[in-house]
Amino acid sequence: MNELELTGRARTHIVDVDDPGCALHRDTVQPFLEMRAAALSAGIDLVPISSFRDFEHQRRIWNDKYRGKRALYDRSGRALDHGTLSEPALVDAILWWSAMPGASRHHWGSEIDVIDRGALPDPRSVKLLPIEFSPNGPFARLNAWLDENMQHFGFFRPYCTDRGGVSPEPWHLSHAPIAEGALHQLTESVLRQVLESSEVDGKAELLRRLSDIRARYITSVDSPCIPRYA
């Protein structure tokens, strides 16, 4: 993956999938479709509600949250008051749930946020909070199925364990054969170059803390099981 693809500024590595509608790395498409077919056979309509995101999409999410145009949550999923947060606290509150532009794993096309479309009357009501994947949540069955089966197709959850950085995201799946190499390529110098050349709110604070942000929010993730997809 070249640096433009790595940081979401190009999509030459991406293939658009019609059913279900999503955009994935060309080498992730077939494993995902096979995993979806296996889930369907178990009565689970596994669909992505987010897949590839380019740099501009991630920048809009970041800037909207920075400006208070989107909701902010604490690490437990409780709403935060934007107006009470200092700039460092605001940056952390965004990073708990959203990557800074250029650093999102969704740029790689290896990442999908998934739900069971058949588990809710209106999938548009999904908030993507951990409680939805809890034993009493609507996606409890999907959660258990993924625990048992996703590794057979090369997928894992990078945000399964609370490591003090990104909050646990049981809906976020990563295709290990692509993601592991991309994470290694995403160096501090690559991130610094992207930030310095872009209009991102809070850029000075991000650059000041970049080394710590990379260590805490980017590289501190769970490791995959050895993928058994071939």
Structural domain span for residue 144:
3-218
| Inside any domain, residue 76 | yes
| Inside any domain, residue 147 | yes
Digit-coded pLDDT (tens) for 150-182 = 999 999 999 999 999 999 999 999 999 999 999
| Inside any domain, residue 226 | no
Exposed/middle/buried for 228, CB within 10 Å: 0-12, 13-18, 19+?
Answer: exposed
| Inside any domain, residue 225 | no
Q: Are 55 and 103 in contact (CB under 8 A)?
A: no
Q: Is the pLDDT of residue 229 over 70?
A: no
Query: What CATH number did the domain enclosing 36 receive?
Result: 3.30.1380.10
The whole-angstrom separation of Cα 103 and Cα 85 is 23
Q: Are 45 and 39 in contact (CB under 8 A)?
A: yes
Q: How confident is the model at residue 226 (pLDDT cuts 50, 70, 90)?
A: very low
With b for 16 or more beta-carbon neighbours within 10 A and e for fewer, the 82-98 pattern comes to: beebeeeebbbbbbbbb
- The number of domains in the chain is 1
| Inside any domain, residue 223 | no
Instruction: Please give the pLDDT value at position 35.
Output: 98
The whole-angstrom separation of Cα 207 and Cα 119 is 42
Digit-coded pLDDT (tens) for 75-111 = 888 899 999 999 999 999 999 999 999 999 999 999 9
The count of other CB atoms within 10 Å of the CB of residue 139 is 23
| Inside any domain, residue 83 | yes
The whole-angstrom separation of Cα 138 and Cα 168 is 17
| Inside any domain, residue 224 | no
The whole-angstrom separation of Cα 26 and Cα 10 is 14
Tell me what percent of the residues of the chain surpass a pLDDT of 70.
Answer: 97
| Inside any domain, residue 113 | yes
In the block, tokens 């940056």 appear at 91
In the block, tokens 């990104």 appear at 166
